[in-house]
Amino acid sequence: MTSNSITLPPAYRLIALDSIGSTNEEAKRLARAGAADKTLVWARTQTAGKGRSGRAWISPEGNLYLSLILRPGCPAGRAAELGFAAALALAASLDRLVPGLDLAFKWPNDVLLGGRKLAGILIEAESDAAALDWLVLGLGVNVRTAPARTELPAAALSERGGGITVEALLAAFASDFLDWTTRWQGQGFAPIRHAWLARAKGRGGRVTVRLPKSTLQGTFIDLDADGALVLGPETPGGETRRITAGDVFFG
Ligand code: BTN
């Protein structure tokens, strides 16, 4: 497929595809075969797109589907921090391309438009003992269409006009993500945590968190220094919980 109209920062190697099962699966295959840091797999459609928690990510033409191979050389436990950097990078790109959008973040890595899900991030990693060999960061953004009947209502950028193209968003995101990861390499997670919290939906309010085997309720208090959700007790004197994986529902 031609990708002539797209200029990414030189740090990236772009693999542009018309269609693939899942860009994350393709990126993982390439990573295992030794593909370099910042190899970016982009496809116009996916036939087996994957979301978090084993869900499908419906992937018609017109939306953005990309997966980045990263070899950040950090401990495996820090991989999740890059998901927050990606959400911030996407918001920075959208702020520039379509000023005035009411964007917010939902833990861990969703980007909301008007309270509905606009974009999702799926990180998959492979590590040897504690050291991270590589991670694949997958990003899906509803540019032209939003899926119907999702558990969390979905939104698309096209609802707000502006005629933003997938190519323009891809190039902007690649550049903003490079900026945020450079900051992360130099200053750690703290500035990312701070910027993410400033735009997080529902802080201080009641949330329900669905875990693989149970459901918790409490107050969304904070994001901790590792990116875990800090959930205040349901009843006075109860325990504060630190959640590292789960699905959040507001109210
Ligand atoms: C989520 O459930 O919110 C995460 C969605 C991640 C979807 C993207 S689309 C590009 C990449 N390839 C996939 O199969 N999934 C991710």
Task: Please write the tens of the pLDDT for every residue from 150-202.
Answer: 989 999 999 998 689 999 999 999 999 999 999 999 999 999 999 999 999 99
**For ligand 1, what atom is nearest to the CA of residue 53?**
2
**Per-residue tokens: 181:** 């990861």
Whether 2 has a pLDDT exceeding 60, the answer reads no
Give the pLDDT of residue 4: 61
Output the pLDDT for position 84: 98
Residue 234 pLDDT: 77
- Does residue 140's CB lie within 6 angstroms of at least one atom of ligand 1? yes
The 10s digit of each residue's pLDDT in 109-166 is: 999 999 999 999 999 998 877 789 999 999 999 999 999 989 899 999 999 986 899 9
Q: 240 CA to middle of ligand 1, Å?
A: 30
For the segment 90-110, what is each residue's pLDDT rounded down to a tens digit? 999 999 999 999 999 999 999
| Kind and range of the H or E run holding 216 | strand 215-223
Peptide bond into 108 cis (omega under 30): yes
- CA–CA gap between residue 92 and residue 173 (Å, rounded): 8
Q: Considering only CA atoms, which of 173, 215, 209, 188 is closest in space to residue 87?
A: 173
Verify whether ligand 1 is closer than 6 Å to residue 83 (CB atom): no
Question: Is the CB of residue 100 less than 8 Å from the CB of residue 114?
Answer: no
Our mutation pick for probing the ligand 1 site, out of 122, 135, 145, counting the most ligand atoms within 8 A of Cβ, is: 122
Q: How far is the CA of 97 from the centre of ligand 1 (A)?
A: 22
3-state DSSP call for residue 62? coil
